[in-house]
């Protein structure tokens, strides 16, 4: 099947809403919304309809789908799109992708509505997601909502514009719904402020049709100034039959966190804990790290289309990383990302999973290491600057090194007989099943000190996990301490 692109550029005329905040096409601005966004603390009113910023003239909808014998683009105003809409296969699922605040993007000039217009460069993630959707899913329609004109003003101005953008998108979608697109086949997703636009769209369609759309996905929904906003104007569990939210920047060292903390969907996924992303720590400045944290979520979501990632329901990231939530039994796991799928009918909860930068798809298997010890001797607890490496050796002699000296305080200062920790291993590492595990300690000051670990259990967090137990067989000092499966000779 050939990929054919139909670009809908909705020509936005210079039409002001009347004194009552009403417009003949998108309807009236709710009084509650006007109180929230027109008064304290926002002090910003939405810009006039069709003039979201006055730069590009308004909202642009770029729609793409698979069609065997057609390839055309179309530029028209809202009243003359009927013939074009008939070309769409309304039986296909509709995925609507919405960007967030664009004030920091690179200034550019583009031909928009027949005019060379000053605007900003649109991020690439929307097109990346569209591309991978067509690679993996033929029967899908994709709409990219380009509202840069309303997103290049100050943050609170862009925040105030979210309702106008949502209403424009509702009008656009209704043209397809009236031609047979089922509400349950609509999936709206957005990043940052775009997540709240997605929520408003879902809420408005529910009010108009008396039924919820299929799904709304929020990618690190924007946090600043949303602590007092009513649920009707932000992402919320009432927006769709399924609302899934992905958190990557819920805590900041510089300013108010960019991403919304807390649980706001049926299923909330906290990637790498949801606060800071390991991939961003190598950046030189804290401000760049914070931006990286907030935008990492879109990369993870794009990659999730191709690589299934399993997340597990848990009370907190601290409990997850300590291995306290380690089994997918009793429907505790879910497939995270675009291909979201709960195990069983229990879709609600807080879920956690990890990623890796070692592979392009970022996919990692969260792997539990459970240690049994003799109890750490006092002499070992006093060791300083001791390094530790875990070497995993597969049955095919493939190896993987985990360098993690952060294990040492837990191993050597704990009197617990059993403790666990979770570390990510790339999905494509092909390291399992294991033949043995080796532990190498560096800078140990005395060869007489005994190593306290006597057994290691390992298992992956996934529906069909790899599970194995390894017992210590090596007794020599200053060489790798070897653990093998009990059945091995």
Determine the average pLDDT of the residues in 444-466: 77
Q: Which helix (H) or strand (E) holds 184?
A: none
pLDDT over 60 (residue 446) = no
Q: How far is the C-alpha of 454 from the C-alpha of 417, rounded, in Å?
A: 10
Alpha-carbon Rg for the chain in angstroms: 26
The answer to whether residues 326 and 461 belong to one domain is no
For residue 299, what pLDDT is reported? 94
pLDDT tens for 168-180 read 889 888 888 988 8
Here the CATH number for the domain that contains residue 229 is 3.40.50.1820
The answer to whether residues 353 and 371 belong to one domain is no
Task: Classify residue 45 by its DSSP letter.
Answer: P
| Count of domains observed in the chain | 2
Residue 334: inside a domain: yes
Only one residue has tokens 């950046």, namely: 283
Number of helical (H) and strand (E) elements in the chain, helices listed first: 10, 25
Q: How far is the C-alpha of 302 from the C-alpha of 133, rounded, in Å?
A: 9
366, 312 Cβ separation under 8 angstroms = yes
SS3 (DSSP) at 393:
strand
For residue 442, what pLDDT is reported? 66
Percent with pLDDT over 70 in the chain: 72
pLDDT over 60 (residue 383) = no
430, 411 Cβ separation under 8 angstroms = no
The answer to whether residues 352 and 410 belong to one domain is no
Hey, what are 104's tokens? 């920091």
Residue 370: inside a domain: yes
The answer to whether residues 313 and 382 belong to one domain is no
Q: List alpha helices for 82-179, DSSP H.
A: 82-85, 125-136, 148-151, 155-177
The answer to whether residues 279 and 373 belong to one domain is no
For residue 71, what pLDDT is reported? 32
The answer to whether residues 263 and 287 belong to one domain is yes
Give the structural domain span for 87.
3-362
Residue 240: inside a domain: yes
189, 143 Cβ separation under 8 angstroms = no
Q: What angle do CA 457, 461, 464 make, to 5 degrees?
A: 95
Residue 197: inside a domain: yes
Q: What angle do CA 198, 314, 253 make, to 5 degrees?
A: 65
| CA dihedral for 193, 198, 199, 201, sign (positive or negative) | positive
The answer to whether residues 187 and 263 belong to one domain is yes
Q: How far is the C-alpha of 114 from the C-alpha of 351, rounded, in Å?
A: 47
Hey, what are 360's tokens? 């392009």
The answer to whether residues 458 and 327 belong to one domain is no
209-218, 324-333, 381-390, 476-485: range with highest mean pLDDT? 209-218
Instruction: Give the CA distances from residue 312 to residues 21, 112, 135, 371, in Å, rounded to whole numbers and listed in that order.
Output: 45, 45, 28, 21
Q: Mean pLDDT, the chain, as a whole number?
A: 78
For residue 189, what pLDDT is reported? 98
Here the CATH number for the domain that contains residue 379 is 2.60.60.20
- Per the rule left: phi > 0, alpha: psi between -120 and 50, beta: everything else, 14 is beta
Where a domain ends, among 330, 345, 362? 362
CA quadruple 325, 330, 332, 336: dihedral, nearest 10: 140
pLDDT tens for 20-64 read 455 555 666 676 666 665 443 334 455 444 444 334 456 777 777
The answer to whether residues 267 and 406 belong to one domain is no
Residue 489: inside a domain: no
Of the listed ranges 50-64, 138-152, 182-196, 461-475, the least confidently predicted one is: 50-64
The answer to whether residues 86 and 235 belong to one domain is yes
For residue 326, what pLDDT is reported? 85
Where a domain ends, among 312, 343, 362? 362
The answer to whether residues 310 and 432 belong to one domain is no
For residue 344, what pLDDT is reported? 66
Q: How far is the C-alpha of 48 from the C-alpha of 51, rounded, in Å?
A: 5
The answer to whether residues 459 and 323 belong to one domain is no
Of the listed ranges 51-65, 270-284, 340-354, the least confidently predicted one is: 51-65
Where a domain ends, among 330, 362, 394? 362
pLDDT tens for 242-263 read 999 999 999 877 666 788 898 9
CB neighbour class for 411 (10 Å; exposed up to 12, middle 13-18, buried from 19): buried
Of 301 and 376, the structure prediction assigns the larger pLDDT to 301
Bond before 366 cis per omega within 30 degrees: no
Q: How far is the C-alpha of 317 from the C-alpha of 465, rounded, in Å?
A: 20
179, 85 Cβ separation under 8 angstroms = yes
Task: Classify residue 480 by its DSSP letter.
Answer: P
Catalytic residues: 192, 220, 294
For residue 476, what pLDDT is reported? 62
Task: Classify residue 42 by its DSSP letter.
Answer: T
| 414 Cβ neighbours under 8 A, 6+ residues apart | 373, 376
Q: List alpha helices for 305-369, DSSP H.
A: 317-321
């Amino acid at each position: 099947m050939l990929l054919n692109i139909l670009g809908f550029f909705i020509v936005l005329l210079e039409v002001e809403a009347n004194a009552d905040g009403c417009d003949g096409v998108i309807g009236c601005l709710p009084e509650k919304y006007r109180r929230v966004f027109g008064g304290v603390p926002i002090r910003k009113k939405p810009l006039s309809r069709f003039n979201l910023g006055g730069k590009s003239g308004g909202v642009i909808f770029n729609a793409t789908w698979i069609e065997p014998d057609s390839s055309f683009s179309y530029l028209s105003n809202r009243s003359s799109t009927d013939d074009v809409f008939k070309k769409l296969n309304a039986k296909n699922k509709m995925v609507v992708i919405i960007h967030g605040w664009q004030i920091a993007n690179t200034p550019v000039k583009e031909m928009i509505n027949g005019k060379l217009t000053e605007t900003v460069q649109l991020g690439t993630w929307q097109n990346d997601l569209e591309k991978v959707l067509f690679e993996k899913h033929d029967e899908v329609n994709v709409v990219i909502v380009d509202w840069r004109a309303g997103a290049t003003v100050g943050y609170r101005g862009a925040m105030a514009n979210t309702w106008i953008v949502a209403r424009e998108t509702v009008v656009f979608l209704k043209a397809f719904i009236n031609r047979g697109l089922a509400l349950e086949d609509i999936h709206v997703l957005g990043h940052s402020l775009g997540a709240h636009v997605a929520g408003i769209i879902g809420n408005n369609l529910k009010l108009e049709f008396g039924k919820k759309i299929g799904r709304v996905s929020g990618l690190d929904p924007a946090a600043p100034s949303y602590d007092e906003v009513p649920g009707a104007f932000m992402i919320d569990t009432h927006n769709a039959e399924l609302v899934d939210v992905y958190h990557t920047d819920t805590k900041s060292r510089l300013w108010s966190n960019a991403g919304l903390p807390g649980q706001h969907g049926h299923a909330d996924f906290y990637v790498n804990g949801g606060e800071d992303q390991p991939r961003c720590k190598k950046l030189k400045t804290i401000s760049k790290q914070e931006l990286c944290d907030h935008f990492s979520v879109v990369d993870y979501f794009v990659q999730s289309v191709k690589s299934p990632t399993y997340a597990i329901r848990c009370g907190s990231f601290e409990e997850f990383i300590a291995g306290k939530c380690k089994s997918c039994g009793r429907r505790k796991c879910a497939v995270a990302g675009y291909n979201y799928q709960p195990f069983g009918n229990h879709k609600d909860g807080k879920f956690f999973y990890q990623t890796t930068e070692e592979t392009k798809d970022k996919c990692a298997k969260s792997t539990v290491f459970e240690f049994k010890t003799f109890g750490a001797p006092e002499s070992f607890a006093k060791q300083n600057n001791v390094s530790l490496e875990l070497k995993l050796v597969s049955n095919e002699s493939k190896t993987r090194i985990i360098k993690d000296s952060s294990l040492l305080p837990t191993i050597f200062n704990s009197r617990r007989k059993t403790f666990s920790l979770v570390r990510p291993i790339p999905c494509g590492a092909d390291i399992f099943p294991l033949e043995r595990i080796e532990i190498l300690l560096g800078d140990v000051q005395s060869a007489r000190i005994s190593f306290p670990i006597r057994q290691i259990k390992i298992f992956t967090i996934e529906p069909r996990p790899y599970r194995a137990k390894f017992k210590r067989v090596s007794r020599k000092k200053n060489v790798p301490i070897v653990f093998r499966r009990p059945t091995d000779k």
